[in-house]
A and B are shown apart, each in its own frame.
Chain A
Amino acid sequence: MEQPKPQVKADKEINLKGEVCPYTFVKSKLAIEEMLPGQVLRVIVDYVPATKNVPRSMQNEGNSVLDVSKLNDNDWQIVVRKG
C-alpha cells in the first residue's frame, strides 16, 4: 500500500458528494482525461463504496492512487496522479 501523502498539491479538485457508483468513477475519469500526465486530481466523495471502486478503476486505467483517506464523519478524499 502507498503511504498517504495528503500534502501533495492537487492540480484539480472535484466534489462528488451525493454521487454514487458508477458515476463517482465516471466523473473522476472525465475529469482526469482533461489533465496532463503527472498532474494530480483530488476527488471528494461521501459514498463509502466509491473509496474502493474509484481507486481500483483509476489504477486499472494506468493512474496511481496517492491517497485515500477520511476527511471527517462523512467525506473521503481520493488523490490520484494521472499516468
Chain B
Amino acid sequence: MLDFTEEEIKRYSRHIILKEVGGRGQKKLRESSALVVGLGGLGSPVALYLAAAGIGTLGVLDNDVVELSNLQRQILHGTSDIGRQKTDSAENRIRALNPGVKVTKHCARLDKNNVERTIRDYDVIIDGVDNFAARYLLNDACFFGNKPLVEAGVLQFLGQIMTIVPGKGPCYRCVFPEPPPPGSVPSCQEAGILGAVAGVLGVLQATEAIKLILGIGKPLVGRMIIYEALSGSFREVGFRPNPKCPLCGEKPSITELVEYPVACEEQRQDAVT
C-alpha cells in the first residue's frame, strides 16, 4: 500500500479491484517493459492501452512521419502532428495520457543489425508492422532472443492475432514458413483497411501483452483468432509447433537472422497498417 501514491491508487483502482490483478499485478505492470514495433493502426491502440494500464517502460519504434492518410486509423497521432516523427507524436500522446510511463523512442527501421539489441531490454514485444520483411525478422529475432511476441496483421475487414512464446508453442514460421512472393498479397495501401478493424486487433494485442506480463489466463499460444468484421465473427484456429518449421523445427534451416527485401508496394511503411 505504501508503494503506491494516492494518484496511482486512484488511477489504477479498477485494476487493483480485479482479483487477478490487485496491487501485486499493478506493481508487476509498473516494473515491466514492452516494445511496440510500428506506430500505425495496430501500434496506436497497443501503445495507448499499455500506457493507460501503467506499464513501466514503453518502447515505441517507427521510422516514419505522420501523414494525413494515417489518421483514419492511427489514433496515436493527431492532425497537428502531420509531418512529425511518429515516435515524437507518440511520446507526447503517451505523456499526456499517463506521465508515469517511461517512453523510450526508437526512431529506426528494424534490420538484422539492430533488431536483437533493440528487443533485448524488453519483456514483451508487440508486432504492429506492415510488411512481411519486418514481420519475419521480428519473429526470428524473438525466437533467437527468447522473447514473447504478440503478433497480428490486418487487411480490409480482416484481422488475425496469435501470441508466440518461444518453446511454448508454434512460431509465425510454423504457420507461414516463408513470406509470400512479393506482390501476391496486397498491402493495406492498395487494398484498404477499415480503421476500426486495426483497432480491434490492436486492443486484443494490448490485452495479450498485459496477460503475459501478469501471468494470468491463457495466452493465445498455438491459437490464432481471426476476426471477420463484415460478418461480425471471431474464429479460433489451433496450430501446433511444426516439426518442419525452418526456424524452430527439428532440422532448422534458418540459424541466423535473414532479411527479406521489402516489396516495392510495401516500401512506404507509413502508408500501411
Chain A residues with a Cβ under 8 A of chain B: 14, 22-23, 25-27, 29-31, 33-34, 57, 60-61
Question: How many angstroms from the CA of A72 to the CA of B17 in the assembled complex?
Answer: 29
A65 nearest CB across to chain B (Å): 16
Q: Which 6 A-B pairs have the closest CB atoms?
A: A30-B1, A30-B23, A26-B13, A33-B23, A31-B1, A26-B16
Q: Apart from A29-B16, A29-B17, A33-B22, what are 4 other A-B pairs with CB-CB below 8 Å? A: A30-B9, A30-B23, A33-B1, A33-B23
For chain A, what secondary structure do more than half of its interface residues adopt (helix, strand, loop), or is it mixed? helix
Residues of B within 8 A of A60 (CB): 19
For chain B, what secondary structure do more than half of its interface residues adopt (helix, strand, loop), or is it mixed? helix
Q: Is B10 an interface residue (CB 8 A)?
A: yes
Residues of A within 8 A of B235 (CB): none
Chain B residues with a Cβ under 8 A of chain A: 1, 4, 9-10, 13, 16-17, 19, 22-24
Residues of B within 8 A of A61 (CB): 19
14 sampled A-B residue pairs with Cβ under 8 A: A14-B1, A23-B9, A23-B10, A23-B13, A25-B17, A26-B16, A26-B17, A27-B1, A29-B16, A29-B22, A30-B1, A30-B9, A30-B16, A33-B23
Residue of A nearest to B1 (CB): A30
Question: How many angstroms from the CA of A23 to the CA of B9 in the assembled complex?
Answer: 8
Question: How many angstroms from the CA of A60 to the CA of B18 in the assembled complex?
Answer: 11
> Is there an interface contact between B10 and A29, defined as CB atoms closer than 8 Å?
no
Residues of A within 8 A of B23 (CB): 29-30, 33
> Is there an interface contact between A22 and B1, defined as CB atoms closer than 8 Å?
no
Residues of B within 8 A of A27 (CB): 1, 9
Question: How many angstroms from the CA of A61 to the CA of B17 in the assembled complex?
Answer: 10
Question: How many angstroms from the CA of A29 to the CA of B23 in the assembled complex?
Answer: 8
> Is there an interface contact between A30 and B17, defined as CB atoms closer than 8 Å?
no
> Is there an interface contact between B17 and A34, defined as CB atoms closer than 8 Å?
no
A12 nearest CB across to chain B (Å): 10
Question: How many angstroms from the CA of A26 to the CA of B9 in the assembled complex?
Answer: 8
> Is there an interface contact between B24 and A22, defined as CB atoms closer than 8 Å?
no
| Most chain A CB inside 10 Å of its own CB: which residue of B4, B10, B16, B24 | B16
Residues of A within 8 A of B9 (CB): 23, 26-27, 30
> Is there an interface contact between B1 and A34, defined as CB atoms closer than 8 Å?
yes
| Most chain A CB inside 10 Å of its own CB: which residue of B1, B16, B17, B23 | B1
> Is there an interface contact between B13 and A22, defined as CB atoms closer than 8 Å?
yes
| Most chain B CB inside 10 Å of its own CB: which residue of A25, A29, A31 | A29
Residues of A within 8 A of B4 (CB): 30
> Is there an interface contact between B19 and A33, defined as CB atoms closer than 8 Å?
no
Residue of A nearest to B27 (CB): A33
> Is there an interface contact between A33 and B24, defined as CB atoms closer than 8 Å?
yes
Residue of B nearest to A34 (CB): B1
B15 nearest CB across to chain A (Å): 10
Residues of B within 8 A of A33 (CB): 1, 22-24
Residues of B within 8 A of A23 (CB): 9-10, 13
Residue of A nearest to B2 (CB): A34
> Is there an interface contact between B19 and A22, defined as CB atoms closer than 8 Å?
no
Residue of B nearest to A14 (CB): B1
B103 nearest CB across to chain A (Å): 27
B24 nearest CB across to chain A (Å): 6
Residue of A nearest to B14 (CB): A22
